[in-house]
Amino acid sequence: MPAFGPIKRREFIACLRQLGFGGPFRGGRHQFMQKGTLTVVLPNPHRGEIHKRLLSQLLHQAEIDKSTWEAL
């Protein structure tokens, strides 16, 4: 189960796949993942880890609450 904190981009993508998201797909400047009508824009891979604040924003986009995230 991932802790609510810094996470590697690859691990973040794997967790979204476990939650039913497809992708990542190519977008304009960023890749994205989709689940139904939800779209989550992924940060670029060269930026290092996804920190807590950005993780919170991405989970909000994906409509995933903290308890669901930590229960993976």
Q: 72 lies in a domain?
A: no
- CA-CA distance, 72 to 56, in Å (whole number)? 16
Q: What percent of the chain has pLDDT over 90?
A: 82
Q: What is the CATH number of the domain that holds 45?
A: 3.30.920
- 18 lies in a domain? yes
Q: Name the token pair of 37.
A: 């009508």
Q: How far apart are CA 58 and CA 30, in angstroms?
A: 13
The whole model's pTM is what? Answer: 0.92
Mean pLDDT of 13-22: 97
What digits encode the pLDDT tens for the residues 37-53? 999 999 988 878 999 99
In a domain, 3, yes or no: no
Q: Can you read off the two tokens belonging to residue 26?
A: 């190519």
Residue 39 lies in a domain: yes
Is 4 inside any structural domain? no
- Please state the domain count of the chain: 1
Residue type, 11: E
- The parent domain of residue 17 ranges over 9-66
Give the pLDDT confidence score for residue 1 in this predicted structure.
Answer: 55
